[in-house]
Amino acid sequence: MSQLGSFETAIKAVVIGASGGIGGALAEALAADPRVDRILALARSGRTPAGPKLEAGRVDAEDEADVVAAAELARDRLGEIDLVLVATGVLQDEARGIRPERTWRAIDPDAMARVLMTNTIAPALVLKHLLPLLARDRKSVAGVLSARVGSIADNRLGGWHSYRASKAALNMLIRCFALELRRRNPGALCIGLHPGTVDTPLSSPFQANVDETRLFTPAFAAERLLDVIDRLGPEHTGGVFAWDGARIPE
């Protein structure tokens, strides 16, 4: 069980993408933490974990009007927010024509645009409207699921062009937002989080060559990410951190 001891008060949290494997596990882990007071769990489907601390709701993070409405709901239900977690993303979606490219010859502009919308623009819209709600008189954190493959310095294999590019762009936005946030709210953090390879529908087509000791359950990934968040301070804002606390190279 996570113990978010570095937060100074009972935690009020918002989880975007709470119907997914990792997002749902994050919402459930927060609900089990005695430090957490209330959680607003939002997803496009509206089907999110239930519990006495959890309030479910619907948001399409790719629709700014929806995000504005979600921010208004968060303000109404929670007031100042201590923790925002954005757990949306896409790697492959056959129905939408999205699949990781093995070569530049496979790039399709429409599919690439859809990946960038889901992995980059949607989280940016969420941060645009929820960062102003972060508490100003104590530690507060906005954490966005990113990926190690978004690291330019760590890229040794190439391929997966749209996914890599969308996560690299997301990491840059996290850095930009963190710099702006620090001027407005010095105690707040805006960070990226790499959960490792998690046994979810997103990764299931690509698990064949993953060592079973490195394939995590959503519950394990959620606990590790919350532990990382607990150990970070304002000096870490703008970085991207893996499930084990290591900083991902830029």
231/233 Cα distance (integer angstroms): 7
Place of tokens 């390879």: 197
- Is residue 1 domain-resident? no
C-alpha–C-alpha distance, residues 82 and 188, integer Å: 9
pLDDT score for 46: 79
* Distances in whole angstroms, Cα of residue 167 to Cα of each of 69, 115, 209, 222, 223: 26, 10, 22, 19, 22
Confirm if 49 and 76 have CB atoms less than 8 A apart.
no
Q: Does residue 249 lie in a domain region?
A: no
61 and 44 Cβ atoms separated by less than 8 Å: yes
pLDDT score recorded for residue 220 = 94
In a domain, 209, yes or no: yes
pLDDT (0 to 100) of residue 212: 56
Q: What pLDDT shows up at residue 180?
A: 97
Is residue 104 exposed (0-12), middle (13-18) or buried (19+ Cβ within 10 Å)? exposed
d(CA 211, CA 196): 12
Task: Count the domains in the chain.
Answer: 1
- Tracing tokens 């959890």 back to the chain, one arrives at 54
Q: Which domain holds residue 226?
A: 11-242
Within a domain: residue 6?
A: no
Domain contains 247? no
What's 119's domain CATH number? Answer: 3.40.50.720
Residue pLDDT tens, the chain, 250 long: 667 999 988 999 999 999 999 999 999 999 999 999 999 999 998 788 888 999 999 999 999 999 999 999 999 999 999 999 999 999 988 888 999 999 999 999 999 999 999 999 999 999 999 999 999 999 999 999 999 999 999 999 999 999 999 999 999 999 999 999 999 999 999 999 999 988 876 655 655 555 556 688 999 999 999 999 999 999 999 999 999 999 999 8
* Residue 2 belongs to a domain: no
Q: Residue 180: inside a domain, yes or no? A: yes
Tokens of 85: 């977690």
Cα–Cα nearest to 223, from 243, 203, 196, 202: 243
Domain-embedded: residue 51: yes
Q: For the whole model, what pTM was predicted?
A: 0.93
pLDDT in the model for residue 223: 96
Single-letter code of the amino acid located at 51? G
